[in-house]
Amino acid sequence: MTSDPLIALRPWEAPEVTSWGRLPMNAVDRRSPALSLDGEWRFQLLPGPLAEPGPQWSSAQVPGAWTLQGTDDLPWYTNAQMPWGEFPPASPEANPTGVYEREVDVPAGWAGRRIVLQVGAAESVLLVHVDGQPVGVSKDSHLAADFDLSAVLRPGAVHTVRLTVVKWSDASHIEDQDQWWHGGITRPVLLYATDPLYLADVTVRTRLDGELRVDCKVRHASGPLPEGWCVTGELDTHLLVQDTELDRFNEEDGRVSDFLGEARLSTVVDDVRAWTAETPELYGLTVRLHRPDGTVADSSFHRVGFREVEIRGRDLLLNGERIYIRGVNRHDFHPLTGRTVSHADMRADLELLKRFGFNAIRAAHYPNDPSLLDLADELGFYVVDEADIEAHDHAHEIADDPRYLGAFVDRVSRMVLRDKNHPCVIIWSLGNESDYGANHDAAAGWLRRHDPTRPLQYEGAAKLDWADPALASDIACPMYAPVEDCVAHALSGDQTKPLIQCEYSHAMGNSNGTLADHWAAIESTPGLQGGFIWEFWDHGILQRVNDGRPAGRAGTGQYENGVAAPGYRWAYGGDFGEVIHDGVFIADGVVFPDRTPKPVMYEHREIAAPVRLTRDRGGLRISNHQHFQDLRWLAAEWSLALADGGTRTAPAELPDLGPGESASVPLPFALPENGGEAWLTLRVTTAEDQSWGPRGTEVCVPQVRLRAPDPVDPVRVPGEVEVDDDGLLVHPLLTSAPVLSLWRAPTDNDELGGMAARWHDWGLDTLVRKAVAVRREDGRVTVLAEYATGAGPVRHEQVFTRVEGGVRVEETAVLPDGLDDVARVGSVLETVAGLDVLEWFGQGPWESYPDRSSGVPVGHHTLPVAELFTPYLRPQESGGRHGVRRFTLSAPDATGLSVDLAEPCQVSVTRYRAEDLAAAAHHDELVPRPGCVVHLDAAHRGLGTASCGPDTSPSYLIAAGTHHWSWTLRVL
Ligand code: GAL
Ligand code: MG
């Protein structure tokens, strides 16, 4: 039996113990003097917390997860289910426990000072020892724990600090978020010193009229608060008024002997520049604690934004304006380091989001790294800050379990105490997917009392009734609600709260269908204000293929453009040998694990466009869709794309428009008589350098059609097209003649939504063509084929005629009634090798699908075939382009083929057959075919979001019955 009380008390199975010896959380910014303890620590991994450390040490990097540093305890992915069977508050006996140890040389100059150890984050129970003595315990894996070590550290001496991290605990049951399980110390560790009399907390409150109020708390570590000390504040160069003297609560007054003092400072800033996500205006506030002789004993720096959040009626207002929340859910994630993320990485996340039109982040599902909020203040994002509480698997038991009551209040209050001064935080969240119980109401009660300046939300409460004011949610914040339900609620007359979905448009694989439909509804329905896409990251961990190990920091540079280098792959659930896991459900972000944007990001950018362009009688109308800014930060250029005449550009002058205003402008070009279909684009870029992108960064490309196409039938010429006895087209550039295709490699949505299984039951994935008739008459070859399916035969007719320069193919497919939801109806063909560049006139350049194509501009686009393919982690339907009118596929010597489509079609050109994609589990398993696989789809099913949430809407499904399409194939 161990004599160590920290171990003997088994805090890892005691939910009542949230901490011991830990200092209260606060918002004071501790920069100096500080000693970073990051770097190599002695390390050993024990099989459980009761095991005794041995003499053998290896080493581990702090901060960092040991699961990514060569131990045998590897990352483990589960979504809702716990990875083990113990019921709360128990944890399994096999419980990886990391012991980190190092010597710390305490600066001699810190004599007489108060010395504090800060551990940025540890998963999930932290036990602290100094020179073998127990000094503290902490839980709450995503917030810092501070311990006052003044009594055990001697300045000028060397001490041994041991941090023991127990991976599984009672706390794991409330940290059951949908993400990888790791173990380790994942944020920085440092030692800092303060005067014994120090600033214990600073609370900043602002008003839009420029009023600033700063409440300061002062503590004395070793006695009553002496007289003569004072607190001052400075906002940029502006001195704050001391409203109250440092009010001392000392023994003499008969009040608590808690050596506490409080002071309030204030000022009013004239002509204050308000903070919004569009205009992130910040002021620098320095608060100083002075000794009686005026010297500074302690100080804290804060960046202050003047803004007010309010719910009026059913509207969420920022500075009095009803704003749209164009949000995304963000986890702390890195493919090499897991939940350890650098400031530079977080800046890159936010800059990218800014470039793609996002203005809000939900810190899913725990307080993100503190840098995130600094960056959100600076770059301009609205943040829903969420407490680290997700009891998903055992939600119902835990929400009302009094043993967890303290943990709920602890986690919510510590988040608020840390983050309350950030202007970016506009809403607090009580956590995620934890049912709804008294523990939530307790936390909500603390929160409302402590911070009446912001609303709070909790999906678990809101889902019981979107409108009930008694529930612990000021926002109706459902997840994955069908857009029709949101609209119906807003129109019902019963709405009492702003409706902002905390999660919607699940980005797993090739997904996010109907995003534009959501936004069309949001922008046209008062009461709807937006939502947060699930989610930012595909959490693929870079893994070495040969030994299945995480690459860790050694993997730097081993990926590019969303793809892992040869010898590596993006691992998902099960790839580390987990027995219980949830597979590829971990890869559901709008960016790849290396932050390469997926195509949906571009559609989002257009949906969020600050500048809109519409037709206005003979001319055009430009409007400013921002809430707070004019258009002066933007520059623009016109470009006119003619189907038969290339592209021309002209400089554009953006009108002087305030938020919400619009103006008519004349057409910038006289439309040439010839040239066919014509599209006018306003390419909008940043006029100056922005904090998130240099001058010239593309912001949006709104577009209008100026002229519809004038369909011309190709001119028939004498002669007969070569078609073999089986009815297959013979062509020198085709290795496989066009045949019917009704199937696509199932997307994650198709798999999880049940469509893939239905298609399989129908046999669409293994269609066999049976030629029924080949008729040759009048220079026309008519081929009739039949394809048997589980829902009856599909008849497919192709009529081949010789036309100027090539072959015209007219196709008809008749789907029996039972075949009422297929993946596609179209032709598939394969080309000879060497045709590696696609040029097309149609929507692009980004990948697009019928329900993910809004705002994807029509124009002339060119891309290498390899770049058309989007490398979704689990291979699936990929690379499609919507609204393609014609294309050429060519070799470097300009030989190749062209296809003209009578009607715009969904086209894909890849090096993979659908069955190649469907057979592979990871992108690196794909072997490109020598030639191209070309799909010309008269109809292609929408993508929807059925992996979690609604399927696509009925208008994007493919009806049974007759489908026609025709096209002309030519040799270049
Ligand atoms: C939600 C949950 C998220 C994630 C998502 C599916 O229900 O809050 O954490 O699991 O579904 O990817
Ligand atoms: Mg969950």
Stretch 894-912: mean pLDDT, rounded? 97
pLDDT in tens, 74-116: 999 999 999 999 999 999 999 999 999 999 999 999 999 999 9
Q: How far is the CA of 585 from the centre of ligand 2 (A)?
A: 11
For residue range 478-497, list pLDDT tens digits in order: 999 999 999 999 999 999 99
Mean pLDDT confidence for 553-566 = 97
Atom of ligand 1 nearest to the CA of 585: 12
pLDDT at 886 exceeding the cut of 70 = yes
**Token duo for residue 658:** 């305030």
Tens digits of residue pLDDT in 744-780: 999 999 999 999 999 999 999 999 999 999 999 999 9
Distance CA 642, CA 389 (A): 55
The model's pTM is 0.97
Residue 2's pLDDT is 75
Question: 192-207, pLDDT tens digit by residue?
Answer: 999 999 999 999 999 9
Ligand 2 center from residue 943 Cα (angstroms): 23
pLDDT recorded at residue 260 = 77
pLDDT category at 345 given cuts 50, 70, 90 is very high
The pLDDT tens digits of the residues spanning 280-337 come to 999 999 999 999 999 999 999 999 999 999 999 999 999 999 999 999 999 999 999 9
Q: What is the average pLDDT across 658-680? A: 94
Using an 8 Å Cβ cutoff, are 824 and 744 in contact? yes
Strand 184-194, strand 114-123: pairing: antiparallel
Q: Rounded to an integer, what distance in angstroms lies between the CA atom of residue 526 and that of residue 523?
A: 8
Task: Over range 511-530, report the average pLDDT.
Answer: 98
Q: How far is CA 99 from the centre of its chain?
A: 33
| Spacing, Cα 302 to ligand 2 middle (Å) | 34
Q: Which atom of ligand 1 is nearest to the CA of 365?
A: 9
Q: How far is the CA of 390 from the centre of ligand 2 (A)?
A: 7
What is the model's pLDDT at position 259? 56
Of all helices (H) and strands (E), which one includes residue 796?
strand 794-803
* CB 699, CB 684: distance < 8 Å: yes
pLDDT at 94: 97
Atom from ligand 1 closest to the CA of residue 535: 12
pLDDT (average), residues 731-748: 98
Between CA 27 and CA 342 the distance in angstroms is: 21
What is the CA(591)–ligand 1 centre distance, in A?
16
Counting from 1 in the atom list of ligand 1, the atom nearest the Cα of 177 is: 9
Indicate if the pLDDT at residue 361 is higher than 80. Answer: yes
pLDDT tens digits, 702-719 = 999 999 998 888 999 999
pLDDT at 438 (0 to 100): 98
pLDDT given for residue 563 in this prediction: 98
Higher pLDDT residue, 871 or 237? 871
Task: Considering every ligand atom shown, identify the ligand nearest to the alpha carbon of residue 393 and give its number.
Answer: 2
Look at residue 240 in the predicted model and tell me its pLDDT.
Answer: 84
Residue 536, number of CB atoms within 10 A of its CB: 25
How many angstroms does the Cα of residue 522 sit away from the middle of ligand 1? 22
List the residue whose alpha carbon is closest to atom 10 of ligand 1: 178
**Ligand in closest contact with the CA of 329:** 1
Taking residue 175's Cβ as centre, other Cβ atoms within 10 Å add up to 24
255 pLDDT more than 70: no
Residue 433 Cα to ligand 1 middle (Å): 8
Structure-token match 């081949």, residue found: 800
Nearest to 298 by CA among 418, 155, 196, 422: 196
Those residues with Cβ within 8 angstroms of residue 954's Cβ, 6 or more apart along the chain or in another chain: none
Q: What percentage of the chain has pLDDT greater than the value 90?
A: 94
Cβ atoms of 787 and 793 closer than 8 Å: yes
- Site to probe by mutation for ligand 1, drawn from 331, 432, 512, 534 as the one with most ligand atoms within 8 Å of Cβ, is 534
Ligand 2 centroid distance, CA of 347 (Å): 27
Instruction: Compute the average pLDDT of residues 580-590.
Output: 98
pLDDT, tens only, 537-552: 999 999 999 999 999 9
pLDDT of residue 917: 98
With a cut of 50, say whether residue 257 has pLDDT above it: no
Name the band, by pLDDT with cuts 50, 70 and 90, for residue 270.
very high
Q: Reply yes or no on whether the pLDDT at 620 is more than 80.
A: yes
pLDDT for residue 225: 78
Closest C-alpha residue for ligand 1 atom 11:
948
> 432 alpha carbon to ligand 2 midpoint, in Å?
7
Tell whether the model's pLDDT for residue 859 goes beyond 90: yes
Q: Is the pLDDT of residue 668 over 90?
A: yes
Nearest atom within ligand 1 for CA of residue 502 = 8
pLDDT for 683? 98
Q: Which ligand is nearest to the CA of 584?
A: 1
- How far does residue 178's CA lie from ligand 1's centre (Å)? 6
**Which ligand is nearest the CA of 330, by number?**
1
What is the Å distance from ligand 1's center to 373 Cα? 22
pLDDT score recorded for residue 32: 80
Spatial distance between the Cα atoms of 905 and 736, rounded to a whole number of angstroms: 20
> Residue 646 pLDDT more than 90?
no
Q: How far apart are CA 915 and CA 267, in angstroms?
A: 68
Please report, as a single letter, which amino acid is at residue 564: A
Query: Across all residues in the chain, what is the average pLDDT?
Result: 96
**Is a pLDDT exceeding 80 seen at residue 258?**
no
Confidence of residue 250 (pLDDT cuts 50, 70, 90): low
> Which of 78, 79, 82, 362 has most ligand 1 atoms within 8 Å of CB, for mutation?
79
Residue to mutate, 328, 388, 429, 503, ligand 1, most ligand atoms under 8 Å from C-beta: 503
How large a percentage of the chain has pLDDT more than 70? 99
Nearest CA to ligand 1 atom 6: 948
Confidence category of residue 256, pLDDT binned at 50, 70, 90: very low
Q: Are 552 and 69 in contact (CB under 8 A)?
A: yes
Residue whose Cα lies nearest atom 3 of ligand 1: it is 178
From 78, 508, 948, mutation site for ligand 1 pocket: most ligand atoms within 8 A of C-beta: 948
Ligand nearest 175 Cα, by number? 2
**pLDDT exceeds cutoff 60 at 251:** no
Q: Who lines ligand 1 at CB under 6 A?
A: 79, 177-178, 365, 432-433, 479, 503, 506, 534, 588, 948
Ligand number nearest CA of 390 is: 2
